[in-house]
């Protein structure tokens, strides 16, 4: 049981059980680079995975010429027209009330109806979460859905996962427990790790530090190691996020979003400083030329496009949020992640564990021990 | 007035006005590398700044042989004996009640009594803040003191400052306003920037996002630009921390500590990956050899030891917290920062502005406009 590999249980996913095809619903609009980058990303994905078909949502007049230019998309992509696009400035609440004619809404509708097994958008994160929650609804036992990201790390899988990185600005102890269970299921399916290690992000590793909800979550997460099939390593600090101490880092969406963007900003700063250093003189330039293979590998290893895609966890459907500034490579990575998740059937097991955890943590309130 | 350079007003600091000497009180104990690294750091500082003298606090029997080995310290350093050292595991509240015989307590006492003009410790941060608050007391208009750090950045000064990075896990809107005023005064004195730019850390740059206290702080900080002599650039995200958009980043101590450690962890990860890449083959190794001057400059540019020292702001005295793992170079940087601050007299101006801001933000509650 401890070595179960949930990604083998493809039959659990109702959306993929009736066919070998993996249909991904893609919002063509709302990214910083416009629909051309999205269409190019679709072309890369169908070439790299023969099972993937795409339903593309957006302005038909703009999309059809772009699609016609990509021979790889012939017979693999259909366009669904949407009059409008959600912009980065639209308020989520406004989109929920007045956004039915947007490409984002249409992309999630195709997932809800079962036409597609996963959805991808690089638009406004808040609006995408709001529209997804409204149409797909939360899984039982989930109060707050979360966005999980992958983070380049030292461990043997090369990545850790962190959640929530921006679905909600707040999380109570029971939400943090649900994040642990959801993050573990996601990591296990992504990397085949039977018993991922969970850490709770805090300002110090001593047990007396931190906020009240974090102390309460510390107890809850420790108590549910068997339910969630994880090993709880306790509190971790910001410096542990890319470490080999932990696989899944649990935090609220405010802190997680700040940490994610701080990490991205720092990696970019160091990369820019490195490039500037290599231009500082002829010897340095020659050195960079000789080491260009090694530098390319480094840049691939920390390239955010390789891990493009925040996954929405805790909804009745798989939604991947691509980075707003993603190019074709980044879009293709997000579609690839959506396809991988769609066929893994991870949501079935996750649902069972969330319900068990929610019941036992409610029964144990405020400080009992029924687990 | 807008171009005032407060670091010229050395006469405002009572602790330095009576003498040309800069006496720094240094806690020898409690760092991860033990007192030998601290003594070596003291030797580096007195060599690099002829005005600096040191009062060193700790176990006399352990310290005197170490001091005797450093000829540079002759006549420049005196040892004050303390029976005990604060450990990293000691609870701050325990140290406050039972820590009078520790080297940390003794180091702060020498500052309080006026024997020294600044204090440095690489011990337990929480205990150091607790002991400093108890002995030095908060400045008028300050509810929560803060720890400010410097962050390698793209701007012309090469550094941004962020606060709070760990004095308190919580901050209300008025605290965040005080952080803006304190951080600006610190940055202006450190870098001679007449009107630093302030940003408030948040999860998005749109005004409708974020927590209630952050929205309230957004209004308050915008309204006090003249009082504090800064330019408010609005919300900034984690990726802006090392950017040229901003000089002073304001946030609560929980978020700031996570961001600081995430940034440090990411920079270290990229550095380690870079070293591994350069060992991946003979061409890469030759390239690294040719580019070693450039790589050395890069490593200096992002070396945390260069900017070692979190400064405690909002107390009646200058306390610098060195990194627990600091070596001699790091300790010397922290002592150098303490000496620079001690002679700058920055606290006089800061005190005036904090009182004005506290009065007007109280008068303006909840939403008036008396500024």
pLDDT at residue A163 is higher than 60 = yes
Closest residue, chain A, to B257 (C-alpha):
A203
Closest residue, chain B, to A251 (C-alpha):
B258
Question: Measured between alpha carbons, how far is A219 from A191 in angstroms, rounded to an integer?
Answer: 27
Give the pLDDT band of residue B19 (cuts 50, 70, 90).
low
Q: Any CB–CB contact under 8 A between B242 and chain A?
A: yes
Q: What's the pLDDT tens digit per position in A71-103?
A: 999 999 999 999 999 998 899 999 999 999 999
Closest residue, chain A, to B289 (C-alpha):
A287
Phi and psi, residue A177, nearest 5°: -65, -45
Cross-strand partners of A121: A321
Chain B residues whose beta carbon lies within 8 Å of the beta carbon of residue A201 = 258
Cβ <8 Å between B292 and A291: no
Q: Which spans in chain A are helix H?
A: 14-17, 34-48, 60-68, 92-98, 103-112, 125-136, 173-191, 212-223, 225-228, 253-278, 282-290, 292-301, 328-344, 346-363
Question: Measured between alpha carbons, how far is B180 from B188 in angstroms, rounded to an integer?
Answer: 12
pLDDT at residue B324 is higher than 60 = yes
Whether residues A122 and A150 share a domain: the answer is: no
pLDDT at residue A255 is higher than 90 = yes
Cβ <8 Å between A263 and B267: no
* B16 in any annotated domain: yes
* B352 in any annotated domain: no
- The answer to whether A216 and B173 are in contact (CB under 8 A) is no
Q: What is the pLDDT of residue B130?
A: 94
Cβ <8 Å between B126 and A209: yes
Question: Measured between alpha carbons, how far is B316 from A51 in angstroms, rounded to an integer?
Answer: 68
Q: What is the pLDDT of residue B6?
A: 43
Cβ <8 Å between A295 and B289: no
Whether residues B91 and B152 share a domain: the answer is: no
Chain A residues whose beta carbon lies within 8 Å of the beta carbon of residue B250 = none
Question: Measured between alpha carbons, how far is A205 from B234 in angstroms, rounded to an integer?
Answer: 33
Q: Any CB–CB contact under 8 A between B87 and chain A?
A: no
Question: Measured between alpha carbons, how far is A192 from A179 in angstroms, rounded to an integer?
Answer: 19
pLDDT at residue B184 is higher than 90 = yes
Give the pLDDT band of residue B208 (cuts 50, 70, 90).
low
**A329 Rama sector, left if φ>0, alpha if ψ -120 to 50, beta otherwise:** alpha
Whether residues A43 and A120 share a domain: the answer is: yes
Structure tokens at B367: 């939403």
- The residue out of A281, A307, A333 marking a domain boundary is A307
Q: What is the pLDDT of residue B12?
A: 39
Question: Measured between alpha carbons, how far is A363 from A369 in angstroms, rounded to an integer?
Answer: 8
Whether residues A287 and A157 share a domain: the answer is: yes
Residues 89-128 of A with CB under 8 A from B: 89, 91, 126
Q: What is the pLDDT of residue B297?
A: 73
Q: What is the pLDDT of residue A165?
A: 92
Q: What is the pLDDT of residue B67?
A: 97
ipTM of the complex: 0.82
pLDDT at residue B9 is higher than 70 = no
Q: What is the pLDDT of residue A31?
A: 87
Instruction: Compare CB distances from B203 to A169, A243, A295 and report the shortest one's residue.
Output: A169
pLDDT at residue A45 is higher than 70 = yes
- The answer to whether A95 and A131 are in contact (CB under 8 A) is yes
Q: What is the pLDDT of residue A371?
A: 34
What domain range includes position A29? 1-137+314-344
Q: Which of A251, A258, A257 is CA-nearest to residue A171?
A: A251
Whole-Å CA distances, A302 to A153, A242, A313, B56? 9, 11, 24, 44
Cross-strand partners of A236: A201
More confident site: B252 or B279: B252
Q: Which of A200-214, A252-266, B10-24, B38-52 has the lowest mean pLDDT?
A: B10-24
Whether residues A132 and A187 share a domain: the answer is: no
Give the pLDDT band of residue B3 (cuts 50, 70, 90).
very low
* B358 in any annotated domain: no
More confident site: B173 or B279: B173
Which residue do the tokens 């500024």 mark? B371
Cβ <8 Å between B206 and A89: yes
Closest residue, chain A, to B154 (C-alpha):
A269
Which DSSP string corresponds to A241-261? TTSSS-SEEE--HHHHHHHHH
Q: What's the pLDDT tens digit per position in A295-339?
A: 777 776 666 555 667 899 999 999 999 988 889 998 999 999 899
Chain A residues whose beta carbon lies within 8 Å of the beta carbon of residue B261 = 237-239
Q: Which spans in chain B are helix H?
A: 14-17, 34-48, 60-68, 92-98, 103-112, 125-136, 173-191, 212-223, 225-228, 253-278, 282-290, 292-301, 328-344, 346-363
Of all residues in chain A, the percent with pLDDT exceeding 70 is: 88
Whole-Å CA distances, A293 to A282, A300, A351? 19, 11, 45
Mean pLDDT of B105-114: 97
* B363 in any annotated domain: no
* A355 in any annotated domain: no
pLDDT at residue A194 is higher than 80 = yes
Question: What is the helix, strand, coil percentage profile of chain A, to 5?
Answer: 50, 15, 35
Give the pLDDT band of residue A27 (cuts 50, 70, 90).
very high
Buried b (16+ CB within 10 A) or exposed e, A35-70: bbbbbbbbbbbbeebeebbbbbbbbeebbeebbeeb
* A357 in any annotated domain: no
Q: HSE of B364 in the Cβ direction (CA atoms, 13 Å)? A: 20
pLDDT at residue B206 is higher than 60 = no
Q: How, if at all, do strands B248-250 and B197-201 pair?
A: parallel
Q: What is the pLDDT of residue A216?
A: 94
Question: What is the helix, strand, coil percentage profile of chain B, to 5?
Answer: 50, 15, 35
Rounded to a whole number, what is the distance in Å from the CA of B198 to chain A's nearest CA?
17
Q: How many domains does chain B have?
A: 2
- The residue out of A307, A327, A361 marking a domain boundary is A307
Mean pLDDT of B324-331: 88
Whether residues A66 and A86 share a domain: the answer is: yes
Chain B residues whose beta carbon lies within 8 Å of the beta carbon of residue A206 = 89
* A298 in any annotated domain: yes
Whether residues B280 and B167 share a domain: the answer is: yes
DSSP state of B363: H
Whether residues A220 and A340 share a domain: the answer is: no
Closest residue, chain B, to A292 (C-alpha):
B284
Longest dimension (CA), chain B: 69
Give the pLDDT band of residue A270 (cuts 50, 70, 90).
confident
Whether residues B55 and B107 share a domain: the answer is: yes
Question: Measured between alpha carbons, how far is A348 from A225 in angstroms, rounded to an integer?
Answer: 19
- The answer to whether B28 and B56 are in contact (CB under 8 A) is yes
CATH, residue B131: 3.40.718.10
Whether residues B327 and B217 share a domain: the answer is: no
pLDDT at residue A229 is higher than 60 = yes
Mutate to test the interface with B, among A291, A297, A303 (most CBs of B within 10 A): A291
Of all residues in chain B, the percent with pLDDT exceeding 90 is: 58
Q: What is the pLDDT of residue B158?
A: 84
Cβ <8 Å between A269 and B206: no
Q: What is the pLDDT of residue A61?
A: 96
Whether residues B21 and B132 share a domain: the answer is: yes
* B356 in any annotated domain: no
Q: Any CB–CB contact under 8 A between B290 and chain A?
A: yes
Kindly report whether the peptide bond that precedes residue A164 is cis, defined as omega within 30 degrees of 0. Answer: yes
Whole-Å CA distances, A279 to A284, B29, B50, B244? 7, 43, 38, 21
Cβ <8 Å between B302 and A273: yes
More confident site: A323 or B365: A323
Whether residues A282 and A195 share a domain: the answer is: yes
- The residue out of B262, B291, B307 marking a domain boundary is B307
């Amino acid at each position: 049981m401890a070595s179960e590999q949930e990604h083998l249980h493809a039959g659990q996913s109702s959306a993929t059980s009736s066919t070998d095809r993996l249909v991904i619903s893609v919002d063509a609009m709302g990214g910083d680079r416009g629909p051309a980058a999205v269409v190019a990303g679709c072309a890369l994905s169908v070439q790299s995975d023969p099972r993937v078909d795409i339903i593309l949502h957006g302005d038909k007049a703009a999309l059809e010429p772009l699609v016609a230019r990509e021979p790889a998309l012939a017979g693999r992509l259909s366009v669904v027209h949407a009059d409008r696009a959600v912009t980065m400035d639209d308020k989520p609440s406004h989109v929920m009330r007045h956004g039915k004619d947007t490409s984002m809404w249409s992309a999630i509708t195709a997932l809800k109806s079962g036409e597609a097994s996963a959805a991808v958008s690089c638009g406004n994160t808040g609006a995408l979460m709001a529209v997804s929650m409204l149409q797909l609804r939360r899984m039982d036992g989930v109060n707050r859905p979360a966005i999980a990201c992958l983070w380049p790390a030292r461990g043997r899988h090369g990545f850790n996962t962190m959640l929530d990185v921006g679905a909600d600005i707040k999380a109570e102890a029971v939400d943090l427990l649900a994040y642990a269970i959801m993050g573990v299921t996601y990591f296990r399916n992504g990397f085949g790790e039977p018993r991922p290690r969970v850490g709770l992000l805090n300002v110090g590793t001593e047990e007396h530090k931190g906020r009240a909800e974090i102390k309460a979550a510390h107890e809850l997460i420790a108590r549910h190691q068997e339910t969630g099939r994880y090993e709880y390593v306790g509190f971790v600090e910001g410096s542990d996020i890319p470490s080999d101490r932990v696989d899944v880092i649990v935090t609220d969406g405010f802190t997680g979003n700040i940490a994610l963007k701080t990490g991205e900003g720092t990696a970019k700063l160091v990369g820019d400083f490195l490039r500037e250093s290599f231009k500082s003189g002829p010897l340095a330039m020659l050195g960079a030329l000789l080491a260009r293979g090694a530098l390319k590998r480094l840049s691939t290893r920390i390239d955010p496009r390789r891990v493009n895609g925040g996954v929405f966890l805790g909804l009745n459907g798989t939604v991947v949020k691509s980075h707003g500034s993603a190019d074709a490579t980044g879009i293709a990575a997000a579609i690839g992640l959506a396809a991988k998740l769609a066929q893994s059937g991870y949501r079935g097991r996750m649902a069972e564990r969330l319900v068990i955890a929610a019941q036992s943590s409610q029964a144990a309130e405020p400080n009992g021990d029924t687990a």
